[in-house]
Amino acid sequence: MATRAETRKRNRSSPLYEVIYDILREHIIDGSFPAGLVLGESLVARAFSASRVPAGAALKRLHREGLIRDFEGRGYLTGRSDAEPVRRELGDAGLRLPEAITGELKLRNRREHIYPDVEHTVAASLSYGRFLLNESALAEHYDVSRTVAHEVLTQLERIGLVTQDTNQRWYAGPLTADLLGEHYEMRWLLEPMALGQAIDELEPDEIRAIRDRAAKARSDDLPPERLEQLERDLHVDIVLRCRNGQLRETIRRNQLPIFATHSGFERLQNRREIDLMISEHLSILDSLAAGRGDQAMHALEAHLRRSLGPNIELLRRLGPLPENLHRPYLVMVS
């Protein structure tokens, strides 16, 4: 019978953190790890030859499910609450990685290393026209194999950022005003529902920290990456904490082209619009902090409905592709 991790392996669209989570979960439940084993981001990342981000996400999920417990701010512990801390590399502690999983992880790790930059670049370029993505140039630019480059493009196809024509060529864009409207409509229909599911997962300190960042942004100049982070604080770090995985993926597909365009909007920023966006975020966060979930959900829907108009106006005012988005694998076509 296939393990959960082996089942995930066959679904290559599963995030790396879910593969790590499944493997650790199996080892914890079947008692392969000794009670009191110390689990930290660096330790898990080393064991899976991954970065700390997916390792940390896997550990947080295990902790939320009660499978591991806090260790005085120094990671997590497995097993009984009275067990003494055990510090070992996971391989020495009983970690078993099937050969099929090991091979998949190596491919994933190379792919996951370059994927975020490719995804962001492609998403940010959609507003500027239609592009051909050259697989060979992509592999050369990131110094990876054609197999890894193909995996990256296939993953982009799964989330709807690129398409492949009958001649096996990859294309992205354009993001038109009509398509932007469809993305926003999906968001205002689905994000409030996701927020309702996520409310019980939120800690007061987390809401407070996100609110503090938003409030501080009112008096700061905001480079594109900071503006994008403000959007992610609410719409990703909070909204996408919902339980429904299909809901998360659908929302994320509709968020990507919108968030990424901030990298090209620096010269077009309207401070009044940014201040209004921040005020609306603060209103939603204040409702969450006060335990008024329904009010927060209604405010989120209103915020997204109102945001469509200004973003269509920005789309219409765009000039040529900014220099910071030029890549040798991204070729504009008529």
**Sorting pLDDT into bands at 50, 70 and 90, what band is 10?**
very low
Residue type, 100: A
Mean pLDDT of 278-296: 97
CA angle 299/198/117 to nearest 5° reads 90
pLDDT band (50, 70, 90) for residue 162: very high
Closest of 181, 185, 187, 138 to residue 162, by C-alpha: 138
CA-atom Rg of the chain in angstroms: 22
Q: What CATH number is given for 4-97 in this structure?
A: 1.10.10.10
What is 213-255 written as a DSSP string? HHHHHTTS---HHHHHHHHHHHHTTTGGG-S-HHHHHHHHHHH
Burial zone of 13 (CB within 10 Å; 0-12 exposed, 13-18 middle, 19+ buried): exposed
Q: Class of the 177-317 domain?
A: mainly alpha
Cα 199 to Cα 194: distance, rounded to the nearest angstrom: 9
Which tokens belong to 42?
């660096």
- pLDDT above 90 as % of the chain: 59
Alpha-carbon span 228 to 328, nearest angstrom = 25
pLDDT at 45 over 50: yes
pLDDT of 9 reads 47
Under a CB-based contact definition with an 8 Å cutoff, are residues 194 and 240 in contact? yes
**Spacing of C-alpha 165 from chain mean position:** 27
Q: Which residues contact 161 (CB under 8 A, 6 or more apart)?
A: 119, 122, 123, 126, 172, 256, 257
Question: What is the pLDDT averaged over residues 103-107?
Answer: 68
**Nearest to residue 52, comparing CAs of 87, 16, 8, 12?**
16
Q: pLDDT tens digits for 84-101?
A: 899 999 989 999 887 767
State the average pLDDT over residues 293-303: 98
In the sheet with 330-333, reading across from the earlier edge strand, the strands are 163-164, 170-172, 130-133, 330-333
* Model confidence at 8: pLDDT above 60: no
Q: Tens digit of pLDDT for each residue in 218-266? A: 877 777 778 888 999 999 999 999 989 899 999 999 998 888 766 555 5
Using one digit for the tens of pLDDT, what is the confidence trace for 61-82? 999 999 999 987 778 999 887 8
Q: State which of 7-16, 184-193, 226-235 shows the largest mean pLDDT.
A: 184-193
Q: Where are the domains of the chain?
A: 4-97, 114-175+322-333, 177-317
pTM equals: 0.70
Number of Cβ within 10 Å of residue 2's Cβ equals: 9
User: What pLDDT does 74 receive?
Assistant: 78
What's the confidence (pLDDT) of residue 210?
Answer: 94
Q: Do domains 4-97 and 177-317 have the same CATH topology?
A: no
Task: Give pLDDT, residue 54.
Answer: 85
Angstrom distance (rounded) from CA 110 to CA 148 = 7
Residues 5/101, Cβ–Cβ less than 8 Å:
yes
- Of the listed ranges 22-26, 257-261, 274-278, the least confidently predicted one is 257-261
Measured CA to CA, the distance from residue 234 to residue 240 in angstroms comes to 9
Structure tokens given for 276: 């209004």
CA angle 297, 242, 184 (to 5 degrees): 55
Least confident of 43-47, 104-108, 220-224: 104-108
114-175+322-333 fold: Arc Repressor Mutant, subunit A (1.10.10)
Contacting residues for 181 by C-beta, under 8 A, at least 6 apart? 308, 312
Residue 269 has a pLDDT of: 63
Q: DSSP states of 113-156 as a string?
A: HHHHHHHHHHHHHGGG-EEEE-HHHHHHHHT--HHHHHHHHHHH
Give the pLDDT score at 271.
Answer: 79
